[in-house]
Every structure is written in structure tokens, then in C-alpha cells.
Structure 1
Amino acid sequence: MHANICFLFSLACFTALFNELYVSANGAQPQSLSLNCGSENDGTDGDGRKWESDVKYITGKHPHARAQYQDSSIDSEVPYMDARIFTSEATYNLPITEKTRYWLRLSFYPSEYSGLDISDSYFSVVAGGVTLLNNFSASITAQALTQAYLIKEYSLAPMNSRILNVTFKPADKPDAFAFINAIELVPTPDLFGSGTMVGFSDQTFDATDGTLQTMYRLNVAGQYISPTKDSGNLTRTWYNDAPYLFGAATGVNLQSNDSFEVRYGELAESVAPPDVYRTARGMGYYKDVNMKFNLTWLFQADANFTYVVRLHFCEFQLTKVNQKVFNIYINNQTAQVDSNAADIIGWTGEKGVPTYKDYAVFVKDREGDEEIRAGLAPINLFET
């Protein structure tokens, strides 16, 4: 059995219908925007992506600063070495197309900036009337995650507006300031629709009109996929899943042969790039051993949110139903089990055709519950 995983959590109510189109009323495709904040000039990063100065999109005059050093994990000065600084409330006015969903990505490099103490940086961010960050410290968050920089990614619900206001507001405390290194705005199809609410067999969720934050996006058993290698021009980043495996039994890495072709069929290519479906994590080759454990991923989560768990599947070994059948568990609750167990060929009809399943789980505010476990366990259909 194998899977690829994507996690998001809800910031707003879920309603409406699924739609894969994102063409504006006048027939023009909405445009992406990549801002190198704090820089007076346009620039190009190490992947060849072009970044525009933020000057014409912000109201008022706000200072900029240059990072005192470049961390070894940052392979390009653009867009992390310059920052826009806010000592008072400030708003970006970003052009958007009405009734279109967008990724909004905010990048923070909490480095040393001349004359500023990064430990004083606490602020909130509000986009389109939705609070995305509140009393946020990029420095503390980056230290906790042992990362040099942070990228916060949100999928914004469609709006009846041609301008997206993104407001930065420093905390109400002495010397507090806000800062931002980069802003990306990318039009997307409605990638998320309805799915099963885990633990409530008679309930579903609908994410089409919701604003969501990406928590984890993993290429299971595969390599890092950079934004330039993503599908659908969505410039998503996909990370290897190994750091999130739980327990001693981590399975084995599987990879398709060079001639394997991913055939999307009715599934939009924007759902995930082909490389996501060319690798997988399996349990191994010994049936009796496999029946004794689950393949499990563990993720830290905040309480009192509903999380959408998307599992991507594509069979590249077997060709018949009932050859690979397994149960799916989310936080020790059955998502796909027994008579409704997962069978990839049963879902898709043939090898090489990708599919995905969405599940939602609410994380309660109880001690020890601030995590999400996704587990797969084989079943033996022919056991007597």
C-alpha cells in the first residue's frame, strides 16, 4: 500500500460547489504576482523566477532593511535578503480577479536587520478581512521549527472584489514592528471540494468557499519538488515525508520504472505534479510481517481547528482489484475500512491513473491531542 499526503486546516466556513475553472469574466486568465518586499528593484531568484519590487502596491512610505547575513539554507538573495519594515499599520493593495481562488504566500526571514531587534517583531496579518496571523513572531516560530525562514501559505476563498487588501499591524507594545520579505499571489482552480468527516459516517465537509492554510505538503518517498517543477503553474513546494514517519516500521521506498506514464484522464493535472505519483512508500515484501503493524505519519497540529487530509494514490505495480487492499485511519478513527477499504485499482480501474481521497478531522483541545496521525494497515481478503 502507498500514498502521498497533503494537509490543510480550515480558517472559515465551508460551503458551495466544486469547480475546476479559473477564467475571469472577460475571458482573460488571472495573473500571478511575486513581490520582493523591501527592494527598490525587480530581481530573479536561483530558480530563474522573476520577482517584482513591492513599491507600487503599498500605501504610504515604509522603510526597508537589508539582512546582515545570508543563512546557508538560502540559495538566493532574492527574495529573502530585503525586507519591508512596518512600525505602524500598513496595507498592500493587490490586483485580483473577482470570484477567483488564490494562493497567498507570505515569506519571512527573521534575520538581523540594522537598528532592529528581531525579538521585538510581533504583528498580525489580515487579508480580505480574514485574520491569517495574530501576535505572530517569525523569530520564535522559526527557532521552534529549526528553520532559517518561513513560508506561510493560504488558499483564499473567492471574493467579489478586484483588490485584495493585505494589512500588517505591529503589536501594541514598545518597539514592536512587522516585516515581510516576499508576497506571492497565485490564481488557482478550486482544488478542494467535499469529503468525508472522519468519525461521523453520516457527515461530510465542503471546502469550496473556505479559506485554508497549508500545513504540510509531502511527496511520499520522493524528492523535494521545487515551485518551478509544480504542475498547473501553481508554484507549490513538495517536501519529502521521511521526517514525519512515526515508529520503527517506516516501510520501503518504491519508484516506478522510467517508462511509467501518469495518465490524468478526468483528473486535472493541477492536483499534483507527475513526480508525486511516480514514488510511493510501501510496507515491504513479507505479508505476515506487514499484517502486524501500521504505516504511520505523525503531524503536529493546533487544537480547535478542522483539518483536511488529502491522500494521493497512483498504482504503478499491480493491475487487478483485490491485489492491494488496506484500511485508512486518521487519528485512530476509521476513514476507509473493511467493506469500504482502499483498493487503488478498484477506484481508478487501471494502473497509472492517479486519484485522491479527502478526509476531514477536528482536533480537540485536550492534552495529548494536538497532533494528527495518518495510518495505513493491510487487510487479508482471503484469510479463512
Structure 2
Amino acid sequence: MVYGRFRLYIWISSILYLAYFSCGFDPGDNYLIDCGSPTNTTVSNRVFIADNLASKFLSTPQNVLVNTSANSITSSVDSPLYKTARVFAETSRYTFPISQSGRHWIRFYFFPFVSGNRNLSLASFSVSTQNNVLLGDFSPNNVTVREFSVNVTSGTLVITFTPSNNSFAYLNALEVVSVPDSLITDDATSIPSGKFQGLLTQALETVARVNMGGPIVSFDNDTLGRTWVPDRSFLGQPNLAKSVSKIESVKYPPGGATSDTAPPTVYGTLTKMASEDDPNSNFNVTWDFNVDQGFQYFVRFHFCDIVSTAANQLYFNVYVDSWNVLPDFDLTSKIFGNLASACYMDFVTAVKDSSKIRVSIGPSSINNNYPNAILNGLEIMKINNSMGSLSGVGSVASSSTGHSKKNVGVIVGVSIGVLVVVIAGIICFLHRRRKVKSHGNSKIWVPLSINGSHTMGSKYSNGTTISVGSNFGYRYQFAAIQEATNNFDESWVIGIGGFGKVYKGELNDGTKVAVKRGNPRSQQGLAEFRTEIEMLSQFRHRHLVSLIGYCDEKNEMILVYEYMENGTLKGHLYGSGFPSLGWKERLEICIGAARGLHYLHTGYAKAVIHRDVKSANILLDENLMAKVADFGLSKTGPEIDQTHVSTAVKGSFGYLDPEYFRRQQLTEKSDVYSFGVVLFEVLCARPVIDPSLPREMVNLAEWAMKWQKKGQLEQIIDPVLVGKIRPDSLRKFAETAEKCLVDFGVDRPPMGDVLWNLEYALQLQEAVLLNDPEENSTNVIGELSPQVNDISNVETTALAQFETSSVDDLSGVSMSRVFSQLVKSEGSAEHYIAILQLEHEVGASLEENWLEHSLHGNI
């Protein structure tokens, strides 16, 4: 009888819900319970069922209901749902029949009031489902609603409340409501790069749901019963932001966002840059959100361009922490349709090692219109960890009381263990701090010595020892840098990066330089400054950009490089108006960059891993010779007895090795993967990530690999190259890129093999090779005949070429001629490898001689 009455109330509640949200989603399951209440409670046309009618679904050893006095409810806590509660003295469960499998909202309402001798603020408990821990050792301190989204695949949903030792659990109200399958799909874009798949199976907890530029949107104005809060309290600098509202303009395009995705009140309001008074505005609008460390987060951006008056008028950048996740974003591109069309973009962060997520929007450098950036709404949700937990402690509660007690013991044990580790960490930190203090903290930048080691520090750093090689340049005075850059004239800016701006400059002797000016207050900038000097003071190579000197006066971090007349490889491929490069020029640039990376990986006892290989970090001199630049993220490779370096994930969006991202284990093969992306970028002449394109085309590496596996890569190459690439050269080049992008680093070729393949692709482009037995083979070594008529003649010829070449040739393109000689003589792979090694050794030696002469003014 009770069960029948409950089903009747559920039916009535569903009818009312559907009537109110007639244009929204009709939930297959819709359980609303006012815990502890003897009667039904109506909240904004939603009927929460009385506690006794829900008892059919509750299994608990004790039946404890409490209610608060009228004077305990304040104006800020005026919902009738908080007037009563159900208290659980022992492990208790709600078991709900599920008629529609898939995602369900689970919302818990908590208010720690005092009733008689029962003080709910003393409660401590955990809450779990069959597969996930939702709350662990939880103690509500004030009124709160905790919202979760779980995927229910069985016919029942079991929610278990487990009191902590000598405590109890409680609940004021509960919702279990179906979610549309289309609300959260299985995949999203990983940050910093790649694709995240498997969202459908993850449990999520809502961290923030924000209506940018608009008022609070309560659950009765949202088709899915969500609450959207205003963004002002999250803004870092509210004076930089301005609100706009045009709710009546919102359109929901077919196949895009719907009113279930977010209501018109969200899409029809926004926060934008307050840039009206300054057409040269160059700042970001930033929001900060508190999160728990050790978890990944689902981040959904909601956009609707209600400020533009014409298509393609607004370009801007969107950042999550330091990652530019939507560079040069154009909301009115064909993927989103017309102006004022609602859309959203989904991302998943890496595991957070900090307690904040920072979201920013800012102007794009390619936008010739008035600088602006907008954001309409934002959702951030925590993703369960590998143990299925959203709390960070414990695992799924057992179904028996005895086991649940044991599980609580495990939770407590883990908590104590974590506490011990934290205390030990604090002791170590204090000891280290005391030790540093005893040596004295430097409050200004300490000049670096030209030879030997010195300690660099600032008021933001305890000091870092840097070993500066004797072949390094010298320290410039700040006044000299100011003069060289016309006092850092903004019109002389030739680039902007994470470290700072890069200015074109000219020294007193007429030498053209590139001056990179960092910010001494930036921890990231300090690390890059240090690493750049440490790395580039150790080596010089024809295909590595030379660091001429530095300046560390006046709390500045300034690096002075040789000037590269033709800018970046990226600029010659798209977006900067440079003339198009021919196929041979592109191959030679790739070969030069590969030489530089090969030198980094093999030139010293320990490899140097660049960690930020991308087309923007491959610079071109006046002769279009390639040089690898920007070593701020570089790391020395593993020890001889190790396979990798464990380190935090860093790199650039779109180029990052997915294996490095997943495992945080860095090897030289991470550079190889990034270089493979560059190769496809060179071939297709388009950005590696382009959100304006259809979903399957957004990621260049994925899109190009799809066509490569079809054997139809020529369908997507740069149109200016169509008909100008020999098929065999294109095939060899594409196979090389494909091998660089395999999933596992161990299966990728070393950079020396990549260099070999690119040299071969160039030879195939320049001439038809004679006596080539297997031109179509994917294995270059197999393409050279093992039958050699006169090996010694091959070696003599190749070595003679070394002896008669200039220093300039030896470190550059002369190897093309050596390679050609070997191929035409049908030389074996082993002999080419020997010659390649010899080139490396002789080249390194000659580089050193060249450096010695240059330091003494002989060159």
C-alpha cells in the first residue's frame, strides 16, 4: 500500500515537473525525497516526497528523524527542505529501481542544525554507490548541496551512508534524477593535448557551475534542475571585466547546444574584456576556482556571440591554467553557424598538482579588429580517480555491515598514513627553509658568472646554482639592452610566449639580435631562464639557435639570441603572410631541425630532451636554414641504467606525446612524437589544433594519420604542393611521420633514423634513384642493397668528401651529398650509420674548433 502511494506521488511529481519544463528533458527516473519530513514538500513546483513514503527504499538498523526549530532557519537558509533530517547511526542504504540506465544526477542536501541533544555539525560519514565513493569522512559545516553525476548500468542504484567511528550520518533531502544521454558524451579534448575518452563510465562531482555576466539561475529555471551562480566572486580583477545581456538573441542551432545544455539565461549573458577605452588592450580576464589536488577535472566552456555585429569579427584565446586550449578561437566559424548561436567545448585536465584551476580569456594576436574576448558560462566537474573515488580516500563501501566497518578502518588508516607523510613533509620543509635562511636569501638577481658556477636568486627564489660553460657569451648591462631595443619599443616586438615578449634589437657593433624579456616574478619564467642558460651554455651547433648573452640587472630576466631573419617555420606555413615554401625547402628545413634534435639527443653523455618541439620553435635564418630554439622546458635525459625521467607534464597543446602525458615519463621519444606532428604540419600547412574545423579535423595528427592509414594522404596536403612532390618522396616522408606518431615511445624511431629517412625523402625528390630494389618499402635500411661491390671505395669516397668540405658544409647540407654517394654506390646501412656517426664526431670537433676561433676573433 505504501509502495503504491509512493509510486502515485512519483507519478504526480513527474507530471508537474514535465508540465513546468515542457520544452526540456523528460527524466525516466525522478526520485525527490524530503528526508525526515512527515509530509510532502513543494519547492518551486517540484514535489519532494515525505520520508515515510520513501522508507520502502531505505534499509537502516535505526529509524531516527529530527527537525529543527523555527528560529534555527535563517533568511539565508529558508528552504523548507532544511527543516528536517534523517540521521543514520549505522551503515544504511537507499536502493532505487532504475528504469532508464545511463547518467543520473544525485544531489544531497545538508544543513547541520541542532535539535535537542542532537548536533548535526558533529556528523562525520562517507557516502558511496555500488561503484564510487562520493563523499569520504565528510562533515558538512554549513548549508550545502553536493551534486554528482554517475552512470548507472544496472537495474538498481544503491546509495550507502557509512558513519565514521563513533559518529553518525545525516541527510536533509535527496534527488536521484535521470540525465539526458547527450549531455556529456564519451570524449573530450585532453589538456594539454590529445583526446580523452571514457567519460561515460566516470563519476563526476560538480565543483562550479557559473553564469558569466548574469544573475543566479535557480534550479526552477533550468530544465535539468541545476543552479548557476554569478561569476563576480571568482574574478581575479573585476575591473577588467564587463557584463553583457541579450537573452532574447540566443539561438540553439541544429545538432549543437540545446536548452538542456544550458538555459538561454546563461547563453544570453556573458563577461567580456573591458577594453572599450583602449584599442591596444592586451590583458586577460581571469577566474580562479578551488579544487582538490590529485584529480582530473572536466571543464565545459559555454559560448554564444551576442556582441559581434558581423561574422568573423571576434577572435580570442581561451586558457586553462597556463594552457592555451582554444587559440585564435572564432565563434562564428562554420562549425557553429551564425551569430548568437549557442555552443560549448569540453576539456579534461591532467591530474592537478595544485589546489586551483585558473580559467582565462584574452585577445588573439591575429585579430585586426578591436581586442575582445568573451565567456558565457562555465562548468567544472571533478572526475573520479582510478579507485572510483571522488573523495581521495577509501574505496567503495562493502555491502555488509562488518565489511563496512573494516572499510572505515582502512579509510582511517589511510588518513593517518597521509597525515604522517604530511607532517614529515612539513618537518623537511621547515628544515630546508632554516638551512636556506642560514645561508641568507638574496633579495635581488645575483649576476651570473661567465665561467664556473654561480647562484642565481631573487626575492621570489631561494637561489639556484647554474653552471655556465666557458663558451658562453657575456653579461649585458640593462642600459645596453634598452638601447638595442629602442627602450623595448612595442613596435619592435617579434613574438610573445609564455616566458615573455621577444624584441628585435641591434647592438652597438651592428649585430642584430633577438631579445627575450621575462618577468622575474614568474616562477615559470625563473625556471625557463635558468634552464635556457644551463642548456645553451653547454653546446653550440649549426642547427641550434645561439644564446649570445643575458642580463639580470634590475630584477630582469633577459636573454639575447642571434637574430633569425626569416622568423619561425610556423610563420612560413600559415597565418603570417610569408611566401609559400617549396617541397625541397620544407624537406631541408625538416632535415636541419632533425639534425639539431639528433645532436641534443646524442651529443653528450646524457641526452637533452627539448620537451617543446613545435614549428614555432624552429627558426629560419636569411638562407632558410633551420635552427631549433627555446630550451626553457628542456630536461637532461635518464641515467644509463634508467629508461625515462619522471617529471611533470609540460609542452605545447597539439604536440605533446600522449604516452608522456599519460605516464609522466619523459624520454627522447617524446621529442620524436612532437617532431612527427611538425612533419604533418609542414606537409599540410595548417594549425595542429583548429577548433573551427569539424570535430574529426580539429587535431591535425589524428586527421593526417587517418588519411595516411587509408593510403590517401595526398588528399590533404598543402594545395600549393599538389603536383610538385614526387610520389616516392611523399610516401617516404609520410611513413616517417607515421612512425614518429605511434602510441608507444619504444616503437618510435630514434631521431637519427628520422634524419636518415628525411635525407632519403630529399634524394627521392631531387632525382630518380638507380638500382633501387624496393622503393616502396617502409624500412629505409631495407631499401639499400646489402650487396656492395667495393665497400672500401664507398668509405674512401665518403671520407674524402669530408676532408675536402668546408666547416660550414660539414655541419650542414653536405651530408646530402654523402648520402647520395652511398645510395648510388649501393652502400649498406651499416656503412651509412658509420658515416653518420663520423659526421657527428667530426662535426662536433669542428664545431668546437670554430667556437675556439670565434672566441679569439679569428672568424
Select between 51-60 and 125-134 the one with higher mean Cα deviation. 51-60
Aligned to 1:58: 58
Report the CA distance between 1:247 and its aligned residue.
2.5
Aligned to 2:344: 356
Report the CA distance between 1:204 and its aligned residue.
2.7
Select between 282-291 and 161-170 the one with higher mean Cα deviation. 282-291
Aligned to 1:236: 226
Contact 2:213 2:231 in 1 (8 A): yes
In structure 2, relative to structure 1, the CA distance for the partners of 1:245 and 1:128 (3 Å cut) is: same
Aligned to 1:8: none
Contact 1:32 1:185 in 2 (8 A): yes
Report the CA distance between 1:278 and its aligned residue.
0.8
Report the CA distance between 1:120 and its aligned residue.
2.5
2:151 is the counterpart of 1:157: yes
> Deviation string for 1:209-255 (max 9, x for gaps)?
21101111011111111111102xx1111111111011254411101
2:244 is the counterpart of 1:254: yes
Report the CA distance between 1:363 and its aligned residue.
4.2
Q: What secondary structure, in the 3-state scheme, does the structure 1 residue paired with 2:85 have?
A: strand
TM-score (norm 1): 0.82
Q: What secondary structure, in the 3-state scheme, does the structure 2 residue paired with 1:270 have?
A: coil
In structure 2, relative to structure 1, the CA distance for the partners of 1:290 and 1:119 (3 Å cut) is: farther
- Rounded to whole Å, the distance in 1 between the matches of 2:51 and 2:206 is 24
- Rounded to whole Å, the distance in 2 between the matches of 1:99 and 1:257 is 34
1:1-384 to 2 correspondences below 5 Å: 30-45=28-43, 47-55=44-52, 56=55, 57-60=57-60, 61-68=62-69, 69-77=72-80, 79-139=81-141, 142=142, 149-159=143-153, 161-173=154-166, 176-190=167-181, 191-193=183-185, 194-199=187-192, 201-231=193-223, 234-256=224-246, 258=248, 260-267=249-256, 268-286=258-276, 288=278, 291-337=281-327, 341-346=328-333, 347-365=335-353, 369-381=354-366
In structure 2, relative to structure 1, the CA distance for the partners of 1:177 and 1:275 (3 Å cut) is: same
Q: Which runs of 5+ in 2 are unaligned?
A: 1-25, 369-490, 492-859
Contact 2:316 2:363 in 1 (8 A): yes
Report the CA distance between 1:97 and its aligned residue.
2.2
Aligned to 2:779: none
- Rounded to whole Å, the distance in 1 between the matches of 2:88 and 2:367 is 65
Q: What secondary structure, in the 3-state scheme, does the structure 2 residue paired with 1:345 have?
A: coil
In structure 2, relative to structure 1, the CA distance for the partners of 1:296 and 1:195 (3 Å cut) is: same
How many residue pairs match? The answer is 334
Q: Which runs of 5+ in 1 are unaligned?
A: 1-27, 143-148
- Rounded to whole Å, the distance in 2 between the matches of 1:313 and 1:333 is 19
In structure 2, relative to structure 1, the CA distance for the partners of 1:110 and 1:330 (3 Å cut) is: same
Greater per-residue helix proportion: 2
Report the CA distance between 1:49 and its aligned residue.
2.0
Letter in 1 for 2:59: T
In structure 2, relative to structure 1, the CA distance for the partners of 1:155 and 1:36 (3 Å cut) is: same
Contact 1:296 1:373 in 2 (8 A): yes
- Rounded to whole Å, the distance in 2 between the matches of 1:85 and 1:277 is 40
- Rounded to whole Å, the distance in 2 between the matches of 1:96 and 1:360 is 29
Greater per-residue strand proportion: 1
Contact 2:35 2:84 in 1 (8 A): yes
Letter in 2 for 1:63: V
Select between 312-321 and 186-195 the one with higher mean Cα deviation. 312-321
Q: What secondary structure, in the 3-state scheme, does the structure 2 residue paired with 1:103 have?
A: strand
Aligned to 2:737: none
Q: What secondary structure, in the 3-state scheme, does the structure 1 residue paired with 2:260 have?
A: helix
> Deviation string for 1:28-59 (max 9, x for gaps)?
961311100011221213x2321102332212
Q: Which has the larger radius of gyration?
A: 2
Report the CA distance between 1:162 and its aligned residue.
2.1
- Rounded to whole Å, the distance in 2 between the matches of 1:169 and 1:247 is 42
Letter in 2 for 1:212: L
Aligned to 2:789: none
Contact 2:317 2:363 in 1 (8 A): yes
Report the CA distance between 1:289 and its aligned residue.
6.0
Runs (4+) of structure 1 exceeding 6 A deviation are none
Contact 2:247 2:269 in 1 (8 A): no
Letter in 1 for 2:58: I
Q: What secondary structure, in the 3-state scheme, does the structure 2 residue paired with 1:348 have?
A: coil
Contact 1:325 1:343 in 2 (8 A): yes
Contact 1:249 1:295 in 2 (8 A): no
In structure 2, relative to structure 1, the CA distance for the partners of 1:257 and 1:76 (3 Å cut) is: closer
Aligned to 2:413: none
Q: What secondary structure, in the 3-state scheme, does the structure 2 residue paired with 1:246 have?
A: coil
- Rounded to whole Å, the distance in 1 between the matches of 2:42 and 2:266 is 27
Letter in 1 for 2:39: N
Select between 262-271 and 298-307 the one with higher mean Cα deviation. 262-271
CA RMSD of aligned residues (A): 2.0
Contact 1:294 1:376 in 2 (8 A): yes
Letter in 2 for 1:32: N
Letter in 2 for 1:125: V
- Rounded to whole Å, the distance in 2 between the matches of 1:382 and 1:375 is 18
- Rounded to whole Å, the distance in 1 between the matches of 2:300 and 2:285 is 16
Q: What secondary structure, in the 3-state scheme, does the structure 2 residue paired with 1:185 have?
A: strand
Contact 1:318 1:351 in 2 (8 A): yes
- Rounded to whole Å, the distance in 1 between the matches of 2:365 and 2:95 is 57
In structure 2, relative to structure 1, the CA distance for the partners of 1:291 and 1:350 (3 Å cut) is: same
TM-score (norm 2): 0.38
> Deviation string for 1:269-305 (max 9, x for gaps)?
3111111111111112437466321011100010011
Contact 2:103 2:152 in 1 (8 A): yes
- Rounded to whole Å, the distance in 2 between the matches of 1:372 and 1:212 is 16
- Rounded to whole Å, the distance in 2 between the matches of 1:171 and 1:34 is 26
In structure 2, relative to structure 1, the CA distance for the partners of 1:289 and 1:205 (3 Å cut) is: farther
Q: What secondary structure, in the 3-state scheme, does the structure 2 residue paired with 1:297 have?
A: strand
In structure 2, relative to structure 1, the CA distance for the partners of 1:122 and 1:257 (3 Å cut) is: closer
Select between 49-58 and 212-221 the one with higher mean Cα deviation. 49-58
Report the CA distance between 1:257 and its aligned residue.
6.5
Aligned-residue sequence identity (percent) comes to 30
Contact 1:104 1:184 in 2 (8 A): yes
- Rounded to whole Å, the distance in 1 between the matches of 2:79 and 2:121 is 24
- Rounded to whole Å, the distance in 1 between the matches of 2:232 and 2:77 is 22
Q: What secondary structure, in the 3-state scheme, does the structure 1 residue paired with 2:213 have?
A: coil
Report the CA distance between 1:323 and its aligned residue.
1.1
- Rounded to whole Å, the distance in 2 between the matches of 1:162 and 1:278 is 39
In structure 2, relative to structure 1, the CA distance for the partners of 1:154 and 1:241 (3 Å cut) is: same
- Rounded to whole Å, the distance in 2 between the matches of 1:82 and 1:257 is 38
